[in-house]
Each structure stands twice: as C-alpha cells, then as structure tokens.
Amino acid sequence: MGDRLTPRARAARVSAAQAARLAETFKVLGDVTRVRIIDALSRRELCVCDIASRLEMSESAVSHQLRVLRALRLVRPRRAGRQVFYSLDDRHIIGLFRQARRHVQEEEGVAAGR
C-alpha cells in the first residue's frame, strides 16, 4: 500500500532528524534534578548559587546539569560581572514545562478521586 497522506499532511510529519531531537529533549527532561532546575527557572532568572540553594545541591552538581540543559538550548546564560544568571531559553520551553506540569496535576487529581 502506498502513502495515502495528502501532501500537506506528508509535509507536516516529523522528520527522522526532528524525531531524534525531540527524543533527546524528552530524554534530558526525564531527569528529576533537571526538572527541578527548570521549575526554578520557570519563575525567574537565577544564578547557580541561588539554584543550588533552592534545590539543596552543590553548585558543582547544578553547573553540571545546566551544561546539559545548555547543550540542548533549553536554558541560556547571561553574564553580569563575575556571575552568570540562567533563564529558560524561550517561551516554548516555558510552555512545554507548564503544560506537562498541568498534565501531571490533572492525573494526580484523577487518581485522588478514585
């Protein structure tokens, strides 16, 4: 059987390269520590020391996780003198995080109602 998709639907399909990038993004987001960092950054820009304090982690451990997030362009740095502040890279990352969080909260509500 041939491909019965319309040209428009065919063009909208995810390419192999896009699928690989999406999978890598979700894999990186599948880490509890990185999710907690993204949660902190979803509220405001923070430096490594502030993130470490909020998460009760070492600055070294936070820096390592931020390097992973930077590599996928999920967070971006901003230098101010000797300090580096981090924020989520763009509104898409914020939206993705908030939508996933709402999904989890709804699932918790459904499970509590059982």
CA angle 56, 60, 62 (to 5 degrees): 55
pLDDT at 114: 67
Local confidence band at 14 (pLDDT 50, 70, 90 cut-offs): confident
Distance, in Å, from the CA atom of 94 to the CA atom of 91, rounded to the nearest integer, reads 5
Could you give the residue ranges of the DSSP H alpha helices within 44-90?
48-55, 59-71
Of 69-78, 79-88, 90-99, where does mean pLDDT reach its minimum? 90-99
Residue 2 confidence (pLDDT): 55
The pLDDT-based confidence of 3 (bands split at 50, 70, 90) is low
The answer, yes or no, to whether residue 11 has pLDDT greater than 80, is no
Entry pTM: 0.80
Q: Domains along the chain?
A: 17-112 (1.10.10.10)
State the chain's mean pLDDT as an integer.
Answer: 90
